[in-house]
């Protein structure tokens, strides 16, 4: 059942378990250019993250699907209705594309970011979406139509390079297959 929940949240159905037989070290690499960030997970500190951000965790940490609590955030928030919930006891590691920018929100403080730039946030943070602004901003800013709106208290991690933007930037440099229509 846990595998189905993970797959529903955008992660793998299976999780590899690495167990040290003697003194040793396991190293995990990120899937694209970016920063690996450690999250401390406890009964009082659960995290939510965008799908495909979770990298690995200690054995006492579980990864499941979490539904967004707001219809608008689910429809327009960039990740859909499904987020990944990281809970339990131990350490978890996430991968933020590009730079990983931490921001501690005070109670009632609001932070607005591009929806694709949100990597992870503590469960205590309220997540919603809002319009970028006027019609001119929506059409010409290049930021899209929606912002993710986060209200504290809690820690938020922002990624500077959303993977769809990286793919779009690299697309002109990738080889193409030409077909003949003779």
For the stretch 130-182, pLDDT in tens is 877 666 555 555 555 678 889 999 999 999 987 777 778 888 898 887 776 65
User: 39: pLDDT confidence band, cut at 50, 70 and 90?
Assistant: very high
pTM over 0.85: no
d(CA 52, CA 54): 6
pLDDT digits (tens, 9 = 90+) for 113-135: 888 889 999 999 998 878 776 66
User: 31: pLDDT confidence band, cut at 50, 70 and 90?
Assistant: confident
pLDDT digits (tens, 9 = 90+) for 81-114: 578 889 999 999 999 988 999 999 999 999 998 8
CA angle 99, 77, 157 (to 5 degrees): 25
CA angle 169, 172, 175 (to 5 degrees): 130
Residue 82, beta-bridge partner list: 67
pLDDT digits (tens, 9 = 90+) for 55-68: 889 989 988 888 76
CA angle 171, 173, 179 (to 5 degrees): 80
User: 5: pLDDT confidence band, cut at 50, 70 and 90?
Assistant: low
pLDDT digits (tens, 9 = 90+) for 168-182: 888 889 888 777 665
Are residues 65 and 84 in contact, defined by beta-carbon separation less than 8 angstroms?
Answer: yes
């Amino acid at each position: 059942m846990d595998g189905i929940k993970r797959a529903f949240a955008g992660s793998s159905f299976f999780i590899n378990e690495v167990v040290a037989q003697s003194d040793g070290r396991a190293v995990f690499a990120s899937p694209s250019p970016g920063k690996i960030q450690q999250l401390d997970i406890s009964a009082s500190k659960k995290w939510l993250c965008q799908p495909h951000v979770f990298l690995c965790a200690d054995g006492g940490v579980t990864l499941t699907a979490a539904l967004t609590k707001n219809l608008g955030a689910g429809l327009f928030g960039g990740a859909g209705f499904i987020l990944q919930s990281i809970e339990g006891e131990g350490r978890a590691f996430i991968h933020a594309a590009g730079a990983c920018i931490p921001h501690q929100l005070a109670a009632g403080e609001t932070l607005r970011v591009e929806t694709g730039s949100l990597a992870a946030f503590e469960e205590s943070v309220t997540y919603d979406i809002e319009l970028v602004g006027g019609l001119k901003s929506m059409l010409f800013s290049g930021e899209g139509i929606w912002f993710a709106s986060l209200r504290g208290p809690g820690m938020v991690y922002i990624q500077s390079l959303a993977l769809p933007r990286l793919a779009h930037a690299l697309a002109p440099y990738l080889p193409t297959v030409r077909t003949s229509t003779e």
